[in-house]
Structure 1
Amino acid sequence: GNPTLSSKVFENLERPKNGPLLRDDVMTIQGTVDKTGISLALLIFAGYFAYVPDGFSFMIIGGLGGFIVAIITVIKKTWAPITVPLYAMLEGLLLGSVSYMYGQIFEGIVLNAIILTVSILISLLFVYKSGLIQVTENFKLGIAAATGGIFLVYLFGFIGSFFGMSLSFLDPTNGSLISIGGSLFVVIIASLNLVLDFDFIEEGAEKGAPKYMEWYGAFGLLVTLVWLYLEILRLLAKLNSRK
């Protein structure tokens, strides 16, 4: 699943040195929801700013900067209250510029991708809270394995692009049924990662993780949502290419 959100994260967390944690010092679900809302607001604001022609520089700054800040956040979780808002804004620059590029080619695709992403988030939150999906260890392992496999395919495609080799599956204009099926599979796996994110946040609250982990929980959820949105954009582009 999402590599930033694993149960092992709760091991050896840095805690305040001024005695035991008080109620206001621990992670809560509501606190994480609030942090996620703030992060999404920052992302949307930055995305709106970057939704312009010639936004390639925003794409580079957002993509590279977001990756670096994400690595820092994973390594130094106590910095999450600072790094996560920064990550949200950088990813906003990336998504805004990418969305503009897609929007110029396929009319209405951006709004549809946003609606689908939000709908999937709300639907899976309902499914998770209702207990229709049980987050067992086998479920976690299955999603983690699938996510890892997808990452390796994307990594191979990225490295291969430097040597003139490309994976047609990754081409958003490839409207073949196999390509669409592959993208649909990736969207499903990305969506199911949200369930693991919900479980992580709930586990953190139950274990009384330090307050800064609310920001870290929001960060993990943001990582998945960004990935899901980009994959939905790719899928919709492929579907539009068949018209």
Structure 2
Amino acid sequence: MEFKSSNPFLKENKFKNTSRTNDEAIAVHQETMTVSGTINKSFTMLFMLLSTALVSWWLVGNGYNPMIFTIGGGIVGLILVLIASFKPTTSPYTAPAYALFEGLFIGGLSAVFEAMYPGLVIQAVSATFITFLVCFGLYKYNIVKVTETFKSVVIGATMAIFAFYLISWIASMFMTFQPIHQGNSLMSIGISVFVIIVAALNLFLDFDMIEKGSKTGAPKYMEWFASMGLMITLVWLYVEFLRLFAKLSSRD
């Protein structure tokens, strides 16, 4: 069995279904997906996300309920992810919208954590940025190669994590207990570290799929699609860093 990217946005079949032949790609190069175009759109989405994150952060600081932005932004963001996943051609519209609403989610969530543990947000931002740079450098210089075995391990671990989170969430609705990944025990901290490692490994799969998409001559809108997928991984990584640092801070 051939495993692909665990990021639902960067499934290879989506690029295959929209890619052109080599001759067609050369003839309409300006209309096809490129790595540089994807990078530019990723920076655009990051700027949009940070803008709305700052807005929700400021509003929470001025007395607004952070849950409005955290829950509202998260739900709308998820809906946009599902729409783009089933219909990639909508990515030029859903991807920017996702960045805006996910920014509201990130801003509200960050404000909550910062209120509990001052200085936590800058630590999580720095850790996410450094992790991204390290992973990008390792991929760019072929220090880490994305083989089929690598993909299998990362996808298996990612599926296990989300299954574990889902089962714990459902169980908590019917039972009064604290899942082992919550709290500040050494076991909980160890789980957070593991999840962060898996999230970081997903970046390699994202880089690989973006490169392959550009080589196969995927349509230009796939740049937005790929950028959205990369942004999903970065948001996941940032949230997990927030959780880890909060656990460590609560033990002081």
Distance 1:121 1:166 in 2: 35
User: Is the partner of 2:8 in helix, strand or coil?
Assistant: coil
Partner amino acid, structure 1, of 2:137: F
Match of 1:101 among 81, 99, 112: 112
Query: Contact (CA 8 Å) 1:14, 1:78: kept in 2 or not?
Result: no
Counterpart of 1:183 in structure 2 is 192
Distance 1:45 1:98 in 2: 15
Q: CA RMSD in A?
A: 1.5
Question: Is 1:227 matched with 2:236?
Answer: yes
Match of 1:87 among 88, 91, 98: 98
Deviation at 1:107, TM superposition (A): 1.0
Question: Is 1:12 matched with 2:21?
Answer: no
Partner amino acid, structure 2, of 1:37: F
Deviation at 1:3, TM superposition (A): 2.2
Question: Is 1:214 matched with 2:214?
Answer: no
Counterpart of 1:141 in structure 2 is 152
Deviation at 1:55, TM superposition (A): 1.6
Deviation at 1:59, TM superposition (A): 1.1
Normalising by structure 1, report the TM-score. Answer: 0.94
**Between the two proteins, what is the percent identity of the paired residues?**
41
Question: Is 1:2 matched with 2:11?
Answer: no
Match of 1:50 among 56, 59, 67: 56
Q: Structure 1: 5+ residue runs without aligned partners?
A: none
Deviation at 1:131, TM superposition (A): 0.6
Deviation at 1:237, TM superposition (A): 0.6
Give structure 1 regions of 4+ aligned residues with deviation exceeding 4 angstroms. Answer: none
Aligned length: 238
Distance 1:80 1:165 in 2: 41
Cα 1:208/1:200, change in 2 over 3 Å? same
Q: Structure 2: 5+ residue runs without aligned partners?
A: 1-5
Counterpart of 1:158 in structure 2 is 169
Query: Contact (CA 8 Å) 1:157, 1:165: kept in 2 or not?
Result: no
Deviations 1:44-103 (A, max 9, x none): 001011111422111121011000000001011011000000001111011100000000
